[in-house]
């Protein structure tokens, strides 16, 4: 592999989107695709797609475009989807249970291998087919059986503490569902899944539109 220099994060974020569409096309038997068509399907400019892919190699053929199978395979390698990843979940409230029972991660190479909670009532119980362990023994558990990714689904108040523990346990990538901004040391990667933030930025635009609509008659008559 070319093992690239430093690729902008935005580029990395788009690759899974390309990958998903291409994998679907591949499953449907499509053999080639142009940056134009891929871009049309995904709402991205063709130039951007070509630039993004060019960071990693020269996968296309002038005149015909990209081989779908080839590109799927390249993206699998680039994104590290050619192996399985071990995830642990912390928090088995409503949300944690929903995540644990979600069947959509497994087929893509993500295995839930551990579940932790702080509540006496949950510890020892079973969630998503896995026995819930005490979050206080998480650090030592992960020492013996490391995990690649931590999923945090605890209340906001507990999130920082849980994330600190995950980091101490050597987890370098965290998916945070708790509605709070937490600190992580350099080298640890954290992503938030926070629908409320999305809703609140959407209402900014909705409010603007309402204001415009209300003031439009005034402007028209002015």
Q: Which residues bind DNA (CB under 7 A)?
A: 8-11, 34-36, 44-48, 50-51, 53-54, 58-66
Residue (16 or 143) nearer to its own copies, CB:
16
Report the partner that residue 51 touches, choosing among DNA, its own copies, none (CB closer than 5 to 8 A by kind). Answer: DNA
- The residues of the shown chain that bind its own copies, judged by CB under 8 A, are 3, 12-13, 15-17, 19-21, 41-43, 78-81, 85, 94-95, 98, 101-102, 104-105, 108-110, 148-149, 172-173, 175, 179-181, 183, 189, 191, 193, 195-207, 209-211
Report the partner that residue 199 touches, choosing among its own copies, DNA, none (CB closer than 5 to 8 A by kind). Answer: its own copies
Report the partner that residue 141 touches, choosing among DNA, its own copies, none (CB closer than 5 to 8 A by kind). Answer: none
Residue (42 or 130) nearer to DNA, CB:
42
Residue (137 or 209) nearer to its own copies, CB:
209
Report the partner that residue 78 touches, choosing among its own copies, DNA, none (CB closer than 5 to 8 A by kind). Answer: its own copies
Report the partner that residue 61 touches, choosing among its own copies, DNA, none (CB closer than 5 to 8 A by kind). Answer: DNA
Tokens of 82: 């050619």
Residue (62 or 221) nearer to DNA, CB:
62
CB under 8 Å to 53, separation ≥6 — which residues? 18, 35, 59, 60, 66, 71
Q: Tell me how far apart the alpha carbons of residues 54 and 57 are, in angstroms, rounded to a whole number.
A: 5
């Amino acid at each position: 592999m070319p093992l690239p220099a430093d690729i902008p994060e935005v580029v990395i974020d788009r690759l899974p989107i390309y990958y998903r569409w291409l994998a679907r096309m591949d499953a449907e038997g499509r053999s080639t695709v142009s940056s134009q068509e891929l871009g049309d399907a995904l709402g991205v400019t063709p130039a951007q797609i070509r630039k993004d892919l060019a960071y990693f190699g020269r996968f296309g053929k002038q005149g015909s475009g990209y081989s779908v199978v080839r590109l799927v395979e390249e993206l699998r390698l680039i994104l590290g989807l050619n192996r399985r990843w071990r995830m642990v979940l912390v928090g088995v409230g409503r949300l944690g249970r929903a995540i644990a029972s979600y069947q959509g991660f497994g087929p893509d190479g993500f295995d839930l291998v551990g579940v932790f909670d702080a509540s006496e009532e949950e510890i020892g119980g079973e969630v998503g087919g896995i026995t819930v362990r005490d979050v206080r023994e998480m650090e030592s558990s992960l020492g013996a059986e490391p995990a690649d990714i931590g999923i945090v689904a605890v209340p906001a108040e507990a999130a920082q503490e849980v994330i600190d523990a995950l980091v101490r346990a050597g987890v370098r990538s965290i998916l945070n569902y708790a509605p709070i901004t937490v600190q992580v040391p350099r080298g640890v990667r954290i992503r938030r899944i926070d629908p409320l933030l999305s809703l609140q930025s959407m209402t900014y635009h909705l409010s603007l539109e309402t204001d415009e609509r209300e003031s439009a008659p005034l402007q028209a008559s002015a």
